[in-house]
Chain A
């Protein structure tokens, strides 16, 4: 860890939502990134006790950092997608909660889950259609028909026949190198690709299968986020 600059963020107030998009329902989330605000990878609280997985994600981040800025183009998809609000306190639903400033004590803080709730309520308050990715946030990879081993940096442990991953030819043991054109360091990264990606359509994956790099293309059907 001494090869990283470690920053702890304890509140949602002022958080740049164009950058820090993650599963806001979680109380603990990690961004591996650089000073230029380029994100190398995400790691989530689903696996908060899995130090092996976090260490491997950090090792991957060090590899990406060593290749920066030559690899800057492949990191572009890891930034946040366009949202109506730049910061949580700009959401109408959170303004109404009276969160008028940065936290100074144990009360009045914008917590991560406030951001998810705030986004949902704010779309409704403004009469805007609620995007599927807001109503069904941060889908697991099971929705695309595959599961990953948290301890082995996105290695496939299960593939469901008849689902997009099975139909695309993904296999158990495949190590997911890239997904949606992005390098994958963790399960959270794969979830990010699904969350930020298309509501329907193709998503390419590059896998390492027994030392051989292969490309498979998943086709996400209409309504895959909620079915």
Chain B
């Protein structure tokens, strides 16, 4: 699992993505730092909008943070 996330971060190599402030607070509260600033965080509607804007498919990863 960790290999996957490490490669995901390396492959992206893009500037931090702006996030909804409430979702950013959630990410910080959960300590979910692996993909901070690079993936759309817990916001499917923002994902749909971005995918529509860019005409790209989506990869939605459902992963509970415990």
**A positions within 8 Å CB-CB of B:** 1-12, 15, 20, 22, 27-35, 37, 40, 48-49, 51, 54, 58, 61-62, 64-65, 103-106, 109, 111-112
Pairwise interchain contact B61-A7, C-beta atoms closer than 8 A: yes
Other contacts beyond A8-B40, A35-B49, A51-B7: 5, CB < 8 A: A7-B47, A7-B61, A8-B39, A35-B51, A103-B30
Query: 3 tightest A-B contacts by CB?
Result: A7-B47, A35-B51, A35-B52
Within the complex, the shortest CB–CB distance from B12 to chain A, in Å, comes to 6
Pairwise interchain contact B1-A49, C-beta atoms closer than 8 A: yes
* B43 interfacial contact with A, CB 8 Å: yes
Task: Report A-chain residues with C-beta under 8 Å of the C-beta of B63.
Answer: 8-10, 27-29
Complex Cα distance, B14 from A2, in Å, reads 9
Pairwise interchain contact A5-B42, C-beta atoms closer than 8 A: no
**B positions within 8 Å CB-CB of A:** 1, 3-4, 7-8, 11-12, 14, 25-26, 29-32, 35, 38-44, 46-52, 54, 56-66
Pairwise interchain contact A9-B56, C-beta atoms closer than 8 A: no
Task: Report A-chain residues with C-beta under 8 Å of the C-beta of B62.
Answer: 9, 15, 20, 22, 28-31, 112
Pairwise interchain contact A2-B29, C-beta atoms closer than 8 A: no
- Contacts A29-B62, A40-B57 given; indicate if A10 touches B42 (C-beta within 8 A): yes
Task: Report B-chain residues with C-beta under 8 Å of the C-beta of A2.
Answer: 11-12, 14
In the complex, residue of chain B having the shortest beta-carbon distance to the beta carbon of A102: B26
Task: Report B-chain residues with C-beta under 8 Å of the C-beta of A62.
Answer: 57
Complex Cα distance, B48 from A35, in Å, reads 4
